[in-house]
Amino acid sequence: MTGTMSNAGWMTNAMMGLVLAGLGLTAAPGIAQAHIDIVLPESRYGPEMIKDAPCGHPDNPPGEAEPHVYQTGETITIVVDEFVAHEGHLRVAFAENDEDFVNVSGFEDFDNFPGVLMDNIEDPPGMKQFTLQIPMPEQECENCTLQVIQVMYDGDGFQEDDLYYSCIDVTLLDEVPNADDGGSDGMDDGMDDGMDDGMGDAADGMADGAADDMGDDTGGGTDGSDGTGGGQDGDGEAGGCAIGPRPSPDWLGLTLFGVVALRRRAVRR
């Protein structure tokens, strides 16, 4: 009987291990799990380094990616993924230097230094994703840090092991350079100007051709080469509009062309 119970216990533990492995978890004590991570924008260290203040990595090295650039006073959107569900709350803080962060010292230690931007953000049980609107400070800084702390509640009282960290590197500027300046904006302006000029030239050319036709026909001439030449001039100038998309039909030109056609028909009769 004893041996049977031992085998059953071993099988239970083995099955539990398989379940945990399938969930990407482990029952080994002291191994930190990826509880939270800032996924938008990308965090400094990713989901593997989350257990050491102020940003998750025990040595707190500089981030490899360039800081995310925002305007002073701008409200930005961050997305925080919770991968392992724990009841608790989140805190969002900002500091010009990482050593300026003041860590959480208890389950109810809220707003404990001026850099706290949002606190006591409810984290009910269950895995979830937080989308947070965070107002940026009004002061410029070249390489600042936005920090998110998850405070995990448990039944043994507060301990530092109840805290998980994720950070992003931030640059704040009073005026953020627009990557489109001289680029797409300039192209849009050029396309607009080119389209306006080209359509204007096309209208002038068609009007000139129509006027030549009307002049020749009124004078009783039989040679329509002048009018045809005018139309060719108009087509040639219209073809010079090569930047923008194809313009819409020029209804004024088409109307003049129709008048000319009717005029020729009347003269021939």
Question: Looking up tokens 């400070």, which residue turns up?
Answer: 137
- Using the CB atoms, write b or e for 148-171: b if 16+ within 10 Å: bbbbbeeeeebeeebbbbbbbbbe
To the nearest whole percent, how much of the chain has pLDDT over 70?
A: 54
Residue 200 in tokens: 């204007």
Query: In the structure, how many helices (H) and strands (E) does the chain have?
Result: 4, 8
* Bridge partner residues of 163 (DSSP): 151
Q: Which of 108, 114, 113 is nearest to 89 (CA)?
A: 108
Q: How do residues 219-252 score in pLDDT, each as one tens digit?
A: 444 443 443 444 444 343 333 222 233 334 454 4
Q: How do residues 45-55 score in pLDDT, each as one tens digit?
A: 999 999 999 99
Residue 39 in tokens: 């996924």
Q: How do residues 93-132 score in pLDDT, each as one tens digit?
A: 999 999 999 999 999 999 999 999 999 999 988 889 999 9
Q: How do residues 142-197 score in pLDDT, each as one tens digit?
A: 999 999 999 999 878 999 999 999 999 999 999 998 865 544 444 444 444 544 55
Evaluated on CA atoms 154, 157, 161, 167, the torsion sign reads: positive
